Structure 1
Amino acid sequence: MNATVNIVCYKWKELANGEHPLMICICKDGKRKYKSLGVSIHPQFWDFKKNKPKRNCPNKDQIETLITEKIKEYSKQIIEFKAESKDFTVATLVEKVNVSIHRLTVKQLLDNEFERLRKEGRLKYASTYKELKTSLLDFNKHLDIYFSEIDVNWLKNYEVWLRGKGLGDNSIGVRFRTLRALYNKAVSENIVKAEYYPFRIYKVSKLHKETIKRSITKSDVELIINYNTGHEYTQLAIDLFYFSYLSGGINFVDIAYLTRDNIIDNRLIYTRKKTKKLIKLPIQDKALSIIEKYKSSNSYFFPILSAFHKTDVQKANRVNKVLAIINRNLKMIGEELNLPIDLTTYVARHTYATVLKRSGVNTSIISESLGHSSEKVTQIYLDSFENSQIDEAMKNLL
């Protein structure tokens, strides 16, 4: 049986002011359900035969617009059910159309997400939301807007504005990927209806440009670890680079937080700060030697963090400060060794992946790139394979 949707002036209920509520009446399979429109009308202004307001009805145009829009919503949902060959009841139809929308502005959700990430200790990711907010405020002047106002034209204007500021594709891409993630959050939490989602048409992927591959060869790694220096931070830079290379390309931030609790049964076990993925890898003898070299009363393996750094902000600031020093020293080493790319801690991470691939290791265990596009996939595979397979694969590093 087809569903029918009509508007009725519900004369069985009279309000204190003598008006009757206007109701949507949905009928299907012998079942009937009424849903209030949220407005009421005096019976003298309602045409009960034609089920519409009379010509002399106050606010006639607004009431007719409301009726038209509401009937359109129900009719559209009925068509979607039929197109998907889904059966439905009166109750499910009403429920689907009347999903509650939480009216949060872009600013409110941005602030909520920033605070959530900050409390989770994901300060670097939180900073992308802070940067996005600053950028959007500069562009739009205020963010007391609803997500439904961000349409394709709005996004195009924002892109043009960012280019006018001199930003390149990758920098613009970071802003848009963060904004898209925020919009996805808004859709999933019923802050905005999915039908308003602008990223089906506006493709963020067009803003991504492949960066130059940042990996070196095994022989280059040998040159780095054999580099002679009497400078404390230069030697630390070499050791951290080598440790990362030997330990699954572990990120510098994760290295900073390693303690003796992260080694269990000769395996390095830690949870990535960025993705919250649990990583389990064999700890190699050369990596253990590097740890022993910096062994002290400090609970951390390496002289990056200490008991002095108590708050998340203090720790993040310290890690960023040391990372800058380490990368500065690595760059100097790379220049002296005439390496083909600027040497950074990330090069160790990328080299770990490419050396394994060039050694014939299956790409399902380790991918060529550990960047944003494939990093999660790589971690999933590392978690899912047997320890023996990972152990055997990592023997190819040196």
Structure 2
Amino acid sequence: MSVTIAVVCFKSKTLANGEHPLMLRITQDRKRVMKSLGISVNPQYWDFTKGEPKPKCPNKELIQSIILKVKAEYHTKVIEKLSREEEFTATSLVYEQRKNIKAQTVEEFYLSLIKELKEDGRIGTSYAYLNSYRTLKNFNKGKKLNYTFSYIDVEFCKKFEKWMRRKGNNDVTISYQFRSLRAAFNKAIEAKIVSRDKTPFIEYKLSRFNTKTAKRALSKDDILKIIDADCSHASERRQFTQDIFTFSYLCGGISFVDIAHLTGTNIVEDRLLYKRQKTHGSINLMLTDRAKQIIQKYSYYQRQTGYLFPILHNKRHVTPMQQNNRVHKICHQINTELRAFAKELGITAEVTTYVARHSFATILKKSGVNIGIISQALGHQDIKTTQIYLSKFDNEQVDDAMKNLL
């Protein structure tokens, strides 16, 4: 990257006093940017060959002092940016203060991004980036990430991977950390913090990690053990746990966070209509008799708060942060109860609320239901293997498919 800094007497413009303004000229890769120094000189006192005032120029010492100060300032800027491998242009170098353009370190960018996501109510996403930031900071021995994104190259990624493996992390965890880092890097590219050609993830491919996880689905027999168990004399938590698991399974594998946000407006003519919290995809499914019975069981809560289930409260959980914390707390309680419940029923597999979702899809698939219909019921509108070549199915087809659940 070739950068030239000079001060020139701008002959193309003549001021009222007959003098020409002195201009800072920065040339980078044959592109020039000019900036006035706020002083002028009579052309007869300027040496155009040497680019400096002649010996007999009035105020020669003052003009030379200003020129030296400005040139030193911009030489320092260039050296600092090059040393940090920071992206810049002649224009950004000259006008960065005017446009409030500031070179951000990885530390500054992450913290700014996390703050912005929280303010936008995207709490779950902010936690993902917070986790990524903390992991990088641990990798940096607890020190601030006072380097720019250009510093994160292929060699950096190799060292980061090696460090995580020494910590005992498996491919799934390592892949998650790199996907979070890549997402942050891409956001930095969008924000013009770093050049697109600096990304290491073209050469350092994340597909190299084995992210296949053990199957989480239960058999239909085990599912029926849970949803058909007599919990009428059990604790309220056990009954609520069974109801939530059953409702999730019977309603297209609806996730716990989506269940928590359901209100009376989501029930229209015995159908469940909602937008997923995670992807904002629209879901439209029929409600089975058992699902309607579960909703009716908690109708008292709906009358008090508007929510279908006693998870969120419209007067206690107002902010996105409060809602997120509440959902995580109740989900943890239910998963703890589910594990104990499953153990009592002789189910050896790990059982969580997510298992209901995975089991819904797997059992329908084994029943011969078209994978595209299953995908639509789940709201997986971006699953390439199921929806690149499949169009939307109408409600009747999805309704018929749901009959295979019990």
Q: Does 1:164 align with 2:170?
A: no
Contact 1:13 1:21 in 2 (8 A): no
Residue 240 of structure 2 aligns with which residue?
236
Q: Compute the RMSD of aligned alpha carbons.
A: 3.9
Contact 2:179 2:206 in 1 (8 A): yes
Distance in 2 of aligned mates of 1:142 and 1:157: 18
1:45 CA displacement: 4.1
Q: Does 1:313 align with 2:321?
A: yes
1:201 CA displacement: 1.0
Residue 291 of structure 2 aligns with which residue?
287
Residue 44 of structure 1 aligns with which residue?
49
Contact 2:377 2:398 in 1 (8 A): no
Contact 2:372 2:387 in 1 (8 A): no
Distance in 1 of aligned mates of 2:161 and 2:377: 28
1:153 CA displacement: 0.9
Distance in 2 of aligned mates of 1:322 and 1:270: 21
Contact 2:23 2:34 in 1 (8 A): no
* Aligned equivalent of 2:267, options 263, 266, 276: 263
1:372 CA displacement: 9.5
What residue identity is the alignment partner of 1:181? A
Percent identical across equivalent pairs? 40
Larger gyration radius, structure 1 or structure 2: 2
| Cα distance change on mapping 1:371 and 1:204 into 2, 3 Å | farther
Distance in 2 of aligned mates of 1:378 and 1:330: 31
What residue identity is the alignment partner of 1:132? S
| Cα distance change on mapping 1:380 and 1:329 into 2, 3 Å | farther
Residue 345 of structure 2 aligns with which residue?
337
Please give the secondary structure, in 1, of the residue aligned with 2:194: coil
Residue 64 of structure 2 aligns with which residue?
none
Distance in 2 of aligned mates of 1:320 and 1:336: 25
| Cα distance change on mapping 1:23 and 1:223 into 2, 3 Å | closer
1:368 CA displacement: 12
Calculate the TM-score normalised by the size of structure 2.
0.72
Residue 275 of structure 1 aligns with which residue?
279
Residue 87 of structure 2 aligns with which residue?
none
Q: Does 1:300 align with 2:297?
A: no
User: After the TM superposition, which residues 1-398 of structure 1 pair with which residues of structure 2 at under 5 Å, given as runs?
Assistant: 12-13=11-12, 21=25, 35-36=32-33, 43-45=48-50, 103-140=103-140, 141-229=143-231, 230-296=234-300, 297-298=303-304, 299-306=306-313, 307-367=315-375, 384-398=392-406
| Cα distance change on mapping 1:233 and 1:336 into 2, 3 Å | same
Residue 79 of structure 1 aligns with which residue?
none
1:324 CA displacement: 1.3
Contact 2:283 2:379 in 1 (8 A): no
Calculate the TM-score normalised by the size of structure 1.
0.74
1:330 CA displacement: 1.1
What residue identity is the alignment partner of 2:295? I
Contact 2:110 2:133 in 1 (8 A): yes
| Cα distance change on mapping 1:375 and 1:283 into 2, 3 Å | farther
Distance in 1 of aligned mates of 2:112 and 2:227: 45
| Cα distance change on mapping 1:199 and 1:18 into 2, 3 Å | same
Please give the secondary structure, in 2, of the residue aligned with 1:134: helix
1:217-268 deviations in whole A, cap 9, x for unaligned? 2222111112233121111111111100111101011111111111123221
What residue identity is the alignment partner of 1:137? K
1:171 CA displacement: 1.8
Unpaired runs of at least 5, structure 1: 1-6, 27-33, 47-57, 67-93, 95-99
1:311 CA displacement: 2.7
Residue 40 of structure 2 aligns with which residue?
none
Please give the secondary structure, in 2, of the residue aligned with 1:183: helix
Residue 90 of structure 1 aligns with which residue?
none
What residue identity is the alignment partner of 2:185? Y
Aligned length: 341
Distance in 2 of aligned mates of 1:39 and 1:195: 33
| Cα distance change on mapping 1:375 and 1:233 into 2, 3 Å | farther
